[in-house]
Homo-oligomer: A and B are copies of this chain.
Amino acid sequence: MKELLKHLREYISVSEKEFQQIETYFECFEVKKKQNLNSFKNISNYNFFVVQGCLHMYFINEKGENQSVQFAIENWWITDLLSLHRNKESVFYIQAVENCRILSISKKNQEKLLAEFPKVERYFRIIYQIALGASLYRIKFLYQASKAERYFHFIKHHPEFAQRIPQYLIASFLGLTPEYVSEIRTKAFLKQV
């Protein structure tokens, strides 16, 4: 669990001794590519931290297609936070894009952890603050950018995702069809030749 300790230490000070206590609240497990971590209409009872691999969160749209709304690679947290907070059924699925090593913490254990180590509140406050700030930039981007700009901006500014995530999932995440992404990639390639 040294990855989690390293990530905590980017925001708060944690001694080795404290971490020996902190890690008891987590479970470590592996998921295979395409395996689901939660199911639609289940209440999210866990928060997931990606040690290795890549997850995505999606819903099934009216056409019956998976529509991605979030990716999570190493050191990212992912869950349906509203479902977790309000004990309501989730509208999302979480699935492994690659084989993954994950740390999970139950809602109950997270409450106990925060009661024992209030400074971990600071860690979560800061990472949620950054993610919330970024979400408004994402909304701005969705309103502002053309469909082609969405794609080329994403692969330029998020190479860590673009290099490992299949094109059809990136297309879905950006609200585009795989056919459209294929078309603009071909056009861009032909311009370069």
Contacts and interface: CB of A to CB of B under 8 A. Distances in A.
A121 interface: yes
Interface in A85-132: 85, 91-92, 114, 118-119, 121-122, 124-126, 128-132
Contacts of A19: none
The bracket for how many chain A residues form the interface is 35 or more
A61 interface: yes
Q: Which of A57, A84, A125 has the most CB of B within 10 A?
A: A125
Each complex incorporates copies of this chain amounting to 2
A26 to B, nearest CB: 18
A64 interface: no
Nearest to A83: B133
Contacts of A134: 82
Contacts of A137: 82, 91
B132 A131 contact: yes
A142 B57 CA distance: 16
A140 interface: yes
A81 B132 contact: yes
Interface in A137-185: 137-140, 142-144, 175
A90 to B, nearest CB: 10
A136 interface: yes
A67 B133 contact: no
A132 B82 CA distance: 8
Nearest to A175: B143
B143 A69 contact: yes
26 contacts: A59-B140, A62-B144, A67-B143, A69-B136, A69-B139, A69-B140, A81-B133, A81-B136, A82-B133, A82-B134, A85-B126, A85-B130, A91-B140, A114-B122, A118-B118, A118-B119, A118-B122, A121-B121, A121-B122, A121-B125, A124-B129, A128-B128, A131-B132, A135-B139, A138-B139, A142-B142
